[in-house]
Amino acid sequence: MKEKASELLDVLRGIRQRLGKVPQELIPQVARQLGIPEAQVHSSATFYPELSDKGPSRDAFERGLEQRFRVLSPADPVVWNGAPDFPGQTRRVLARCGVLDPMDFNAFRAAGAYEGLRIARKKKPEEVIAQLEASGLRGRGGAGFSTARKWQTARTTPADQRFVICNAAEGDLGAWMDRALLEGDPHLVFEGLAIAAYAIGSSKAFLYLRSEYSHLIPRLETVLKLVHGSGVLGGLRIEIFLAAGAYVCGEETALLNSMEGSAGHPRMRPPFPAQAGLWGMPTVVNNVKTLAHVPLVLRNGSEWFSSIGTRSSKGTAILCLGGDVVQPGVIEVPMGTPLIDVITNFGKGVRGGKGIKAVQTGGPLGALIPGDRLDVPVSFEGFATAGSPLGSGGLIVISEERCMVAVAREFGSFAREESCGNCAPCRLGTARVEEVLWAISRGKAVSEDLEILDSLGEMLKSASFCAFGQSAPSVALAALRYFRAEFESHIHAKTCASGVCSFEGEEK
């Protein structure tokens, strides 16, 4: 009966689509139908933006952010149709994207699709994991954890059942490379899922899809039908689970809660999902890009995979270049490529020939690399040394014309908007950070507010329950560290050198 709870989001989505809301009086009926407590139904119906009344305002907020930062919106057209070609890339994972039609199963087979799975099945599962370990593949979703070690934990944890989940809850502002892969080469992702399932001993896999990507479902379902029908996956079934609009569900334990029909609050760790994940069973949750690398390792070998990259970051990085560049897009380059080369060679520099003030990396909870440090290599360790994570590969280039107080405020608003609200330090701390940033941007702050920002950052880092809250003020704090003079001129001189901030207007 507990698996029935997985249907909760779909049931509530259906009600909302029919009635425009989820009426309170239907909650007992839904609870009975799924055999779960009414409180659980109520909690989910009010938690997820797509199911609750806050959906429209949250959507408007996010679309506004996307426009102001000049990044693609999920509603924008199919990526590979008319996407700019970037000569000089090292397209390994993206090799077939935009070249073959995913509906043409035979063409993909002829181009090597599912060959990695065939090779994997000739090996023992532990040999597959050993090959991944030798390749040095690290997760591409943000944490950069060893893929092989995650699989090994799931494989060796005693259980009757195991699960594999592809995390496509891609919610970072300006990051749409997972969507690009799912549109351009879903076969590579499904093949990676199948190899993971074989390696850990699972017969059930899921694609956890961001709700804003629901328009991909008809195509993905058609591809899955082709793949299942071909028998290439053996007994493995892959299902699509559509999320319901909460950014925090990109965090793997929040994702698991949402799949179990609960509000998407992160869980305490340990146990880690590879030990006790979906329904308490060992579960591998891997990002889209991570899984897409796996068949290439099996097909071409560990040495081939690690023949490019750096000592700690092997292979290629798939990046989503956006913001104030002339030519935004998804590109694939060897790990270790200088960031400035990515911006100038592929992005063609900044619009209007302007200079670069900073690059925002690692998603909305990431940080900033200032314009005088752009020689940093694109790698996990390179970005970490520069004080800003690589994350899932989103890069928002910020031109010299932008106001960094306004940039910090936008990211502060995002953190407040997307906090799941489950713990007080994050719920209250993100709201207070946003409030201070608004005050600074309107010339209503005092010097002490900068100290307050710093101490709020420390409090969030040390007292928040999960990585979201711990990282929530990172962009604002990085802006303050690198561009303090701008903050001070807003406070003391009531001026914004970029002419972006207005010092009049209503209180927020």
Residues near ligand SF4 (CB under 6 A): 248, 265-266, 419-423, 426-427, 464-466, 468-469
Residue 383 CB, nearest approach to ligand SF4 (Å): 23
Residue 240 identity (one-letter amino acid): I
Residue 479 CB, nearest approach to ligand SF4 (Å): 21
Task: Tell me how crowded residue 46 is: count the other CB atoms within 10 A of its CB.
Answer: 13
Residue 429 CB, nearest approach to ligand SF4 (Å): 9
Give the nearer residue to ligand SF4 in terms of CB position, either 145 or 465. 465
Give the nearer residue to ligand SF4 in terms of CB position, either 428 or 497. 428
Residue 270 CB, nearest approach to ligand SF4 (Å): 16
SS3 368: strand
Give the nearer residue to ligand SF4 in terms of CB position, either 132 or 169. 169
**Residue among 52, 16, 21, 36 nearest 420 (CA):** 52
Assign residue 383 a region (left: φ > 0; alpha: ψ between -120 and 50; beta: otherwise). Answer: alpha
β-partners of residue 206 are 165, 239
Residue 255 CB, nearest approach to ligand SF4 (Å): 13
Distance CA 13, CA 8 (A): 8
Query: Is residue 468 within 8 Å of residue 365, measured between CB atoms?
Result: yes
Residue 149 CB, nearest approach to ligand SF4 (Å): 24
Distance CA 164, CA 142 (A): 18
What b/e string do you get for 443-477 counting C-beta neighbours within 10 Å, with b at 16 or more?
Answer: bebeeebbebbeebbebbbeebbbebbbbbbbbbb
Under 8 Å CB-to-CB from 204, ≥6 apart: which residues?
Answer: 161, 163, 164, 197, 236, 237, 239
SS3 315: coil
Give the nearer residue to ligand SF4 in terms of CB position, either 414 or 487. 414
Give the nearer residue to ligand SF4 in terms of CB position, either 41 or 466. 466
Give the nearer residue to ligand SF4 in terms of CB position, either 81 or 462. 462
Q: Compute CA 466 distance to the chain's CA centroid, rounded to the nearest angstrom.
A: 16
Task: Tell me how crowded residue 136 is: count the other CB atoms within 10 A of its CB.
Answer: 20
Distance CA 496, CA 502 (A): 8
Distance CA 241, CA 262 (A): 14
Give the nearer residue to ligand SF4 in terms of CB position, either 183 or 417. 417
Residue 415 CB, nearest approach to ligand SF4 (Å): 9
Give the nearer residue to ligand SF4 in terms of CB position, either 70 or 427. 427
Residue 263 CB, nearest approach to ligand SF4 (Å): 10
Closest chain position to ligand SF4 (CB)? 469
Distance CA 355, CA 209 (A): 37
Give the nearer residue to ligand SF4 in terms of CB position, either 272 or 468. 468
Compute and round to an integer the Cα radius of gyration of the chain: 23
Residue 467 CB, nearest approach to ligand SF4 (Å): 7
